[in-house]
Structure 1
């Protein structure tokens, strides 16, 4: 038994180190931006050797690509799990999607800063599409489908594609506010802002307080 545990520990150690480096990269991107993020600074932040960074990621581009992939997979798992835990009612599913975007571990300053860095720097755009394009399209299709179902169930006269788009850009706008305003409102107020938007489209199902 002890031998099996030791073998498992050794197997997990490289994965744990890789994850440690990715988390450190998120922190460095959040404070330095993509252009000024270096493998040396990531190693220092992680408390690991520069050689270990090179062992796991042979170049800065590979390190950034792995970090972006991790963020994208984390975000996808978050909203998918939220829907798994929700029934088939479209209003409840839309509510779950909105709440998922403001979970403390997702709507956290370092992660939002890293996302904005990847979105904002031109050099990262090919990397972003390569790592996130399919995930984005999947999310958009699911969100539009939920809006379409809610429009049909509630008898609303709306375009589901446009309603879903406005909800997305409102969410992303509050994320930017949380990062860029001199005196930003808090995460709860950001959530209420998006719920208010949902209430404009679906007043019989949502208000600024959330699902009615």
Structure 2
């Protein structure tokens, strides 16, 4: 028979699995119903679990939504941080990795894009957004600005790197929104091409719509 510590680990694992299952169901319900019409009952139905189990893990709808946003925020942060850590140190390669990270199929899904846009757009969600995402947003902005500052120096660019970083960030956010609101929505691949086109406007010797023009030239 399993000892007490093993049983405790199993119970903890089961609780975490249930929480994640409910959060994933909440993302789906948010994408279909929006913020105001997302309920614990709908989440329970989507997850195939009882309403009581939802209430056990998340006493209120507000706590469920706050946990969902915190989950998305940490998932997003781990995605871009991991992409940078895996990329070579050259600034152009780091920028390319950062832009591509936003179109990683694991995070750039219809349900997740809808959920993010729901949190961005609903006034009542803004306090929990600031609480969950404010520091992460600032960290991302500072990293992007640092990379763009290095590139502007290397390329002799006349642009203010703070503005370049802002335009690239706004381009990504705008493309995410565009991908789910257009009458004929387009793919993540086309979304990434759009953002690379934006990068090419500031660094034409390095980027084109398909990404880096030449990785060898960057490393030369």
> TM-score if structure 2 supplies the norm length?
0.93
Q: What's the CA shift for 1:10?
A: 2.2
- 1:139 equivalent to 2:140? Answer yes
- 1:149 equivalent to 2:144? Answer no
Q: Secondary structure at the match of 2:18?
A: helix
- 1:45 equivalent to 2:80? Answer no
Q: Which moved more, 1:9-18 or 1:72-81?
A: 9-18
Q: CA RMSD in A?
A: 1.2
1:141-188 deviation line (CA, Å, top 9, x unaligned)? 100010001111121111011101111111111111110111122111
CA distance in structure 1 between the aligned counterparts of 2:108 and 2:158, rounded to whole angstroms? 32
1:43-62 deviation line (CA, Å, top 9, x unaligned)? 11111111111111111100
1:32-85 deviation line (CA, Å, top 9, x unaligned)? 001000001101111111111111111110000000000000000000000000
Q: What's the CA shift for 1:11?
A: 2.2
CA distance in structure 2 between the aligned counterparts of 1:185 and 1:23, rounded to whole angstroms? 24
1:5-24 superposed matches below 5 A = 6-24=7-25
- 1:171 equivalent to 2:142? Answer no
Q: Secondary structure at the match of 2:35?
A: coil
The corresponding residue for 2:200 is 199
The corresponding residue for 1:34 is 35
The corresponding residue for 2:84 is 83
Q: Which moved more, 1:16-25 or 1:154-163?
A: 154-163
1:81-128 deviation line (CA, Å, top 9, x unaligned)? 000001210000000000000011111000000000000011111111
Q: Secondary structure at the match of 1:19?
A: helix
CA distance in structure 2 between the aligned counterparts of 1:62 and 1:185, rounded to whole angstroms? 33
Q: Secondary structure at the match of 2:158?
A: coil
Note the residue ranges of structure 2 that are not aligned, 5 or more in a row.
214-220
Q: What's the CA shift for 1:8?
A: 2.8
Following TM superposition, the consecutive aligned residue runs of length 4 or more in structure 1 with deviations greater than 6 angstroms are none
CA distance in structure 1 between the aligned counterparts of 2:179 and 2:126, rounded to whole angstroms? 23
Q: What's the CA shift for 1:5?
A: 5.2
CA distance in structure 2 between the aligned counterparts of 1:6 and 1:129, rounded to whole angstroms? 38
